[in-house]
Structure 1
């Protein structure tokens, strides 16, 4: 597949994930869209589905090969687990964890908040409980920035 077609498929896949269009996501994957590839803004399809709490699309993308720990965006987004935890999407958090998402992986290249910190900031206690049951530690906080 040529690069231009792949970029178009990726753009459509991210938009379908944002809009929760499960049938379109499946069709685009069948057409060869890469479930891991970010769009031109850096947004990954898995992050887009996770932040919107679309557990069915998250499951589809993970099954198709999306990595649950890949960070999305260029500092404005984060990991799929952080995105889901931030908004209290507990079922989506469970799905990501079931597919191997690291409950202690901080966003922003390891310098930002953890999924548990996002859940607690929500406040989304049920989501925090799920993360703790999966091994999330309360001591995983953002590292202070160095001058």
Structure 2
């Protein structure tokens, strides 16, 4: 696949993931595009889907080979699990944990906050159900 086509498909994949369009995500993945590739601003498809709570899209990306601990870098920094936890997307958090996301992985290259911090102090307030899911998976302070 040439570089231009790969870039265009990656952008389409990240956009579809961000809006939870699992059908389009699957279609783009069938072209052979790498689900780990970020778009130009550094956002990965898995991070975009996780932040928006698109659990079925997260599942499709993970099954296609997206790694649950890959951090987005650029405009949208963070791990998929931190992004999902910050907004209280408990189904997405559970999906990521089921596929091997590290419940104690700090964002910002290991120097930032944990998913548990975000579940407790998230962008939209504390999320006790998300916190409980993380603690059950071994998250600690």
When normalised by structure 2's length, the TM-score is 0.95
1:101-147 Cα offsets, whole Å, 9 max, x none, are 00000000001000000000030011001000000002xxxxxxxxx
Task: Please report how far the alpha carbon of residue 75 of structure 1 lies from its aligned counterpart in structure 2 after TM superposition.
Answer: 6.7
Give 2:139's match in structure 1, choosing from 107, 115, 136: 136
User: 2:114 & 2:137 partners in 1: Cα distance?
Assistant: 13
CA RMSD in angstroms, aligned pairs only: 0.9
User: 1:46 & 1:6 partners in 2: Cα distance?
Assistant: 17
Q: Mark the CA change 1:31 to 1:76 in structure 2 (over 3 Å): closer, same or farther.
A: closer
**Residue in 2 that maps onto 1:61:** 61
**Contact 2:17/2:49, CA 8 A, preserved across alignment:** yes
Moved more, 69-78 or 129-138: 69-78
Which contiguous aligned blocks of 4+ residues in structure 1 show a shift greater than 4 angstroms?
A: none
When normalised by structure 1's length, the TM-score is 0.91
**Residue in 2 that maps onto 1:124:** 127
Moved more, 1-10 or 38-47: 1-10
The gaps in structure 1 that reach 5 residues or longer are 139-147
User: 1:60 & 1:121 partners in 2: Cα distance?
Assistant: 28
Q: Mark the CA change 1:76 to 1:30 in structure 2 (over 3 Å): closer, same or farther.
A: closer
**Residue in 1 that maps onto 2:18:** 18
The gaps in structure 2 that reach 5 residues or longer are none
User: 2:6 & 2:134 partners in 1: Cα distance?
Assistant: 35
For the pair 1:27 / 2:24, whether they are aligned, the reply is no
Give the total of aligned pairs: 138
Task: Please report how far the alpha carbon of residue 73 of structure 1 lies from its aligned counterpart in structure 2 after TM superposition.
Answer: 2.1
Rg larger for: 1
User: 1:70 & 1:44 partners in 2: Cα distance?
Assistant: 8
**Map of 1:60-139 to 2, 5 A cutoff?**
60-74=60-74, 76-122=76-122, 123-138=126-141
